[in-house]
Amino acid sequence: MDAQSAITTSPSGSVFSGIQAFEDAQRIAKALASSTLIPPQFQGQQGFANCLVALEIANRMGISPFLAMQHLHVIHGRPSWSSSFIIAMVNGCGRFSPLRFELSGEGDSLACYAVAKDLASGQELKGPTITMAMAKKEGWATKTGSKWQTMPELMIRYRAAAFWGRLYASDMLLGMQSQEEVLDVQPVTVTETSVADLNAAIAQPAPSPEPVAAPVEADQDELF
């Protein structure tokens, strides 16, 4: 039994739908995790669980597990697709004409949207317009080392494709963001040190109020 047929034995097609499907998936995941041809986040014992998740994603999308692993990136604990994979999935699914990108302006006025035709209805599907002004306001183009600063025309196409894909082909992408989108978002993290400092501050006793000096009685002679 090959990998693809092994993980589609259950009626629902999920590797977590039953004991037999889960056991089959574990054997496949163990073999994949021992390979050096898959990305590091799926290798070894630590990558075993990631392999199971990748098998589930691949099964739901109807693609090869190896293909899913090559284009699935785990960033800040969140799975995401490479933008090139999103474009390839849309162009190769047979539901739409190939994505094309309409660019206008240059420099700070650069703008782009993706468009494709629904082959079943013939309707032209236009995606949201991405602009450099948006990239700067959202902080995508202002981060240190951002590719938006060195290759804006490529990055604006990638973002336009990701927005188009989630709008018109979210079932294929399982609602996940692109790798570039996740990288552009700075996660809010709380360090152990900050938690310890906060707990210490809470544990500090409240300061005692300053004693109030008793009023000094005035000499009767001073009143006259």
φ and ψ of 209, to 5 deg: -65, 145
3-state helix, strand, coil in the chain (%, to 5): 50, 10, 40
Question: In the prediction, which pLDDT does 118 show?
Answer: 96
pTM of the full structure: 0.66
Query: What is the tens place of the pLDDT at every residue in 10-35?
Result: 434 687 878 888 898 999 999 999 99
| Distance of alpha carbon 165 from alpha carbon 127, whole angstroms | 8
Query: What is the tens place of the pLDDT at every residue in 160-187?
Result: 999 999 899 988 888 787 877 777 765 5
Q: CA separation (Å) from 53 to 43, 78, 165?
A: 13, 12, 22
Provide the pLDDT confidence category of residue 156 given band limits of 50, 70 and 90.
Answer: very high
Query: What is the tens place of the pLDDT at every residue in 34-50?
Result: 999 988 989 999 889 88
| Distance of alpha carbon 182 from alpha carbon 72, whole angstroms | 12
Task: Please tell me the number of Cα atoms within 13 Å of 18 on its side-chain side.
Answer: 10
| Distance of alpha carbon 170 from alpha carbon 127, whole angstroms | 13
Query: What is the tens place of the pLDDT at every residue in 130-144?
Result: 999 999 998 888 888
